[in-house]
Structure 1
Amino acid sequence: MLRVLQHYFPVRTFLLVATELCLLGAVMAVGMTQHLWKLLGDPATTHAGARSAADALARQSLSAADGLQKCIIAAIALTLVSLLCLGLNRLYEFQISASRYERASRFVESAGAGVVLCLILAAVSRVASPTGILSFPGLTLTQTIQHLAVTVAVGFGVLYISRFAFHWLVRRADLDVRVLILGSRGPAHALANQIIEHPEAGFVVVGLVPEPESTIGRRRMEPGPDLVTAQEEAASETTHRLVLNQVTLLGRQIENTGAAMRSGNGEPEVAQGEESLLELLEKLSVEMVVVALEDRRMTLPIKDLLEAKLAGIEVREREEIYEQVTGRIAVAAMRPSYLIFNEGFRRHPWAALLKRVTDLILSIIMLVLLWPVMLFTAIAVRMTSPGPVLFTQERVGQDGKPFILMKFRSMRADAEKLSGPVWASEDDPRITSWGKVMRKTRLDELPQLFNVLAGSMSIVGPRPERQHFVDQLAARIPYFQLRHIVKPGVTGWAQINYPYGNTEQDALHKLQYDLFYIKNYSVLFDLSILISTVKTVVLRRGT
């Protein structure tokens, strides 16, 4: 996997984006420059279309070569806009793209959105500035719209056909990294399940090496381990079949069906008791070994792992791969050694200064652009329910310091008069009719931009919680207070990746995302989260 903007980018996705960028860019460039071809070949041509283009170029004091350059730049810009439509419609997620039905329906939607968006941008750009970045010299506005509509539609058709070829080639090339997991208890099955659920990550599990029975119950859990769901660490039917047959590498001999050990004729391949780890890796064509033992004491085969590493096979920890696959830190990784010695969790004063400057710039720009929307929202709140327009509440900020958070009120004014502090639910009866609209579109969050200007919040960061819930969750979830080493945010990695939640289990999952963000923080990561936030709002996902 590639690492881009502080999170992991599957190689297959990178190849798909690069391929479609080249294909669509080529179609756009060819389609939007054809009016200049004859003129480039013969400047004195008498062809009516070419002479019309030559006259238009002359009025702008441009040569045919200059016009070609501007057309190509505009075509590339609109290519990126078109690919953004595919991304917003989740067509770069392999679970979606691999489904023929989903791929077909979403391509139609994306093509329609791409054509309309490109036409609007090109028309607005032409009216605002005939020589702007999205202008096509040599074409009138009507010609631009006609050429562009046909070209974008043809481009999406080419991409749709290329998707079939791409998925076929990916299956044939077998680009997945073959992984052997050392372990057969909860952590190993949790990792295997995540890899199976995220095929776009580019890993495939070829087997789980069983652990000795004697290690069960030795692991000392941190406070709050019962928050880990049984589903997360339970062996699914698929992962249970992956436990290897007759493998004694970790100290005992077991009997199993060993689906990963089957040979081409469908009969099980049985690894002999004295077989070394390296021999097993070679037999299964393993490229990576992942250590996911429940208890490493007296179990971890140090010598065999060193031999495998020196033979060129990657040896990784379960927590690192879990993080790559899911974009969150594993529950088992929430221990001092991982947080202290692992890469990340840096706090540098220059980084803090840059983040603050970025917050100020972005919040001012958003307030200037969105003040009409905020005014309309305030009027709607006032007209649809009695009570104040703004909802203010004390929340916990950076380093545990309290601050007053501002939002547009989406609940009844007396929402907690009888119940006291309680989590809001997705279909909370206390939410007003207009409040439901605001929550769906995130309009209620806009006043938090003033919190950003005041310095109590950031544009991107963990969701701010109330002191009542912080005390409650900190007592149940280990390292929950770590989320307060940065400022809370209007949006964040957890908000765009996890659906609405109102339980301790949800809080645990969100903490995993928050710690991933804190560990991998960068300004570019913040910008990628902001782009994903737009996608989340458009698709109405996350919280």
Structure 2
Amino acid sequence: MVRRGQRFLSQFYALVDFIVIQFSFLISWWLKFKSGLLSFHGALPFSSYFQWSAIYGVVAIGTGYFVLFYSSKRRRRFSFEVFKIVQVHLIAIFILLGILFIVKEVHVSRAFLVLLVASSVVFLTIYRYMIKTGLKYFREKGYNKLFVLIIGAGSLGRRFYENLYLHPEHGYEVVGFLDDYQTSHESEYMRYKPILGTTAELEQVLRDVLIDEVIIALPLDAHHKYGNIISNCEKAGVKIMIIPDYFDYLPARPYFDNFAGIPLINVRDIPLDDFRNRVAKRAFDIIFAFLALLFTSPLLVIIFIAIKLTSPGPVLFKQERVGLNRRRFMMYKFRTMEVMPQVSSDTEWTQPNDPRRTRLGKFLRKTSLDELPQFFNVLMGHMSVVGPRPERPHFVEQFKEGVPKYMIKHHIRPGITGWAQASGLRGDTSIEERIKHDIFYIENWTFLFDIKIILKTIFNGFVNKNAY
């Protein structure tokens, strides 16, 4: 029943997506040719544009099926769905441009195509969000359920049950447990669904009870039972998932990888390990850094001259920092202090009312303008626009011993700003809290998350009371 519902939902999505694309076509055609907001010189008839819009819709739907956009996203965050919408329509527009080139149709307005893609992405995102919100509401009310059987009533099975109970919006309902050593739960767990039998009775339970997924939550010493359990589930057409018994020892969300045909468990899921994500982030970094340097170039010249006129010494300050994969690099800043021995700058914190600061340096540090040269570090590949802030090697050696998980921040490129800094954790603030924010960013990176951090950094202002 649920699977038929899922197939219906996928087909419904595809049909409504096509309708939304045609609605976007009407909006785009009106904006380009009827609103008077955009100029044009001649145009193909409406019927020609409608024909190409229909072709674009078919290509987008086909692309969606190819990239698994219409598979179940019950356990996915909405940001993943937005990413897929953008991915589908970027691929689709390139395919459409290829078709236009092949048939030598050169009179279709490029501005119209841009409007079509942009409006399609916007309207699809809006309606998908409305549907996801509606499904969440109905699942919390008990509709559109997936029925789950947990094999193993020990600590693993109980933890999984409790997590499902805390998240009714996912639409999972546990029908019961199977366990070889208990016939009923201990008194403190009596609120749980009942133990229906032993693992040997699985085949009978699958026949008698409507079950969509089986969760294996057995200890490692029961691995010899896995083959028979999986065989019975596949015979009944029921999906199987396994919770590893070493779950308690894993430091983060693990995921399966593959190397030389051998499955591996990667103990930390880092989205930027994916090649496509790295390429997208790097392309954004280069474009953003180039534009930032271009637009701030007059300010850079003014600061350069002001530093030269107000204090002796170099304009730029170079300092060794630890970056991606623990590799060291030279980070650039505008000099804000009197020239001092390198060992002092590498091993000493800046203090409130630090006498080593220049008068101009105090202003530059307070407004974060001293960090503008770091956009050159971004162009050189040492840093990213958004990421954990890099630290000096001397302090990295100290923190890695005293701050749990400190070195995880070096799994990705350091940034000019980060989730910790955008949340107010700058200067004399808790290192532990900063690392928690950095790890959250590393494990939950999305392109939209980067945009959020940049906007939050801008709107919160660059002036910070802890910057001195």
- TM-score w.r.t. length of structure 1: 0.45
Is the 1:181–1:205 Cα contact (8 Å) retained in structure 2? no
Task: For 1:366, give the aligned amino acid.
Answer: F
- Give aligned pairs, total: 373
CA positional deviation for 1:466: 3.8
1:208-223 mapped onto 2 (5 Å cutoff): none
Q: Quote the Cα distance in structure 2 between the aligned partners of 1:134 and 1:464.
A: 42
Structure 1's unaligned 5+ residue stretches are 1-9, 38-48, 77-91, 98-129, 137-143, 210-246, 262-268, 323-328, 346-350, 423-430, 518-527
CA positional deviation for 1:11: 11
> Is residue 405 from structure 1 mapped to residue 405 from structure 2 by the alignment?
no
1:455-514 CA distance string (max 9 Å, x none) = 434568766444345434544689875765x66243899879999694447636855864
Is the 2:78–2:129 Cα contact (8 Å) retained in structure 1? no
| 1:370 aligned to which of 292, 296, 306 | 292
Is the 2:405–2:435 Cα contact (8 Å) retained in structure 1? no
1:160-212 CA distance string (max 9 Å, x none) = 98778666776676154636374543x66665565566666x46262786xxx
Q: Quote the Cα distance in structure 2 between the aligned partners of 1:355 and 1:165.
A: 30
> Is residue 396 from structure 1 mapped to residue 322 from structure 2 by the alignment?
yes
Residue number in structure 2 paired with 1:180 = 150
SS in structure 2 of the partner of residue 174 of structure 1: coil
Is the 1:449–1:490 Cα contact (8 Å) retained in structure 2? no
CA positional deviation for 1:374: 3.6
Residue number in structure 2 paired with 1:305 = 229
Percentage identity across aligned positions? Answer: 20
1:439-450 mapped onto 2 (5 Å cutoff): 447-450=373-376
Alpha-carbon distance change, 539 to 412 in structure 1, aligned in 2, over 3 angstroms: farther
| 1:296 aligned to which of 191, 198, 220 | 220
Alpha-carbon distance change, 360 to 160 in structure 1, aligned in 2, over 3 angstroms: closer
> Is residue 133 from structure 1 mapped to residue 61 from structure 2 by the alignment?
no
Is the 1:250–1:300 Cα contact (8 Å) retained in structure 2? no
Is the 1:381–1:434 Cα contact (8 Å) retained in structure 2? no
1:422-464 CA distance string (max 9 Å, x none) = 9xxxxxxxx98987876xxxx8876433223334345687664
Residue number in structure 2 paired with 1:317 = 242
> Is residue 530 from structure 1 mapped to residue 458 from structure 2 by the alignment?
no
Q: Quote the Cα distance in structure 1 between the aligned partners of 2:402 and 2:205.
A: 42
Alpha-carbon distance change, 356 to 135 in structure 1, aligned in 2, over 3 angstroms: closer
Task: For 1:488, give the aligned amino acid.
Answer: R
Is the 1:70–1:135 Cα contact (8 Å) retained in structure 2? no
SS in structure 2 of the partner of residue 370 of structure 1: helix
Residue number in structure 2 paired with 1:249 = 180
Q: Quote the Cα distance in structure 1 between the aligned partners of 2:232 and 2:408.
A: 36
Which one scores higher on RCO, CA 8 angstroms, separation ≥ 6? 1
Alpha-carbon distance change, 175 to 301 in structure 1, aligned in 2, over 3 angstroms: same
CA positional deviation for 1:377: 6.8
1:238-293 CA distance string (max 9 Å, x none) = xxxxxxxxx643568543454452xxxxxxx5635797345556666443344456
Alpha-carbon distance change, 461 to 473 in structure 1, aligned in 2, over 3 angstroms: same
Is the 2:315–2:335 Cα contact (8 Å) retained in structure 1? yes
Is the 2:32–2:112 Cα contact (8 Å) retained in structure 1? no
> Is residue 451 from structure 1 mapped to residue 381 from structure 2 by the alignment?
no
Residue number in structure 2 paired with 1:331 = 251
Is the 1:289–1:314 Cα contact (8 Å) retained in structure 2? yes
> Is residue 276 from structure 1 mapped to residue 204 from structure 2 by the alignment?
no
Is the 1:23–1:159 Cα contact (8 Å) retained in structure 2? no
> Is residue 507 from structure 1 mapped to residue 435 from structure 2 by the alignment?
yes
Is the 1:70–1:133 Cα contact (8 Å) retained in structure 2? no
Is the 1:406–1:447 Cα contact (8 Å) retained in structure 2? yes
Alpha-carbon distance change, 490 to 302 in structure 1, aligned in 2, over 3 angstroms: same
Aligned-pair RMSD on alpha carbons?
6.9
Is the 2:148–2:211 Cα contact (8 Å) retained in structure 1? yes
Q: Quote the Cα distance in structure 1 between the aligned partners of 2:252 and 2:281.
A: 33
Residue number in structure 2 paired with 1:27 = 23
Q: Quote the Cα distance in structure 2 between the aligned partners of 1:278 and 1:307.
A: 10
SS in structure 2 of the partner of residue 331 of structure 1: coil
Alpha-carbon distance change, 389 to 365 in structure 1, aligned in 2, over 3 angstroms: same
Residue number in structure 1 paired with 2:174 = 206
Is the 1:492–1:529 Cα contact (8 Å) retained in structure 2? no
Is the 2:389–2:418 Cα contact (8 Å) retained in structure 1? no
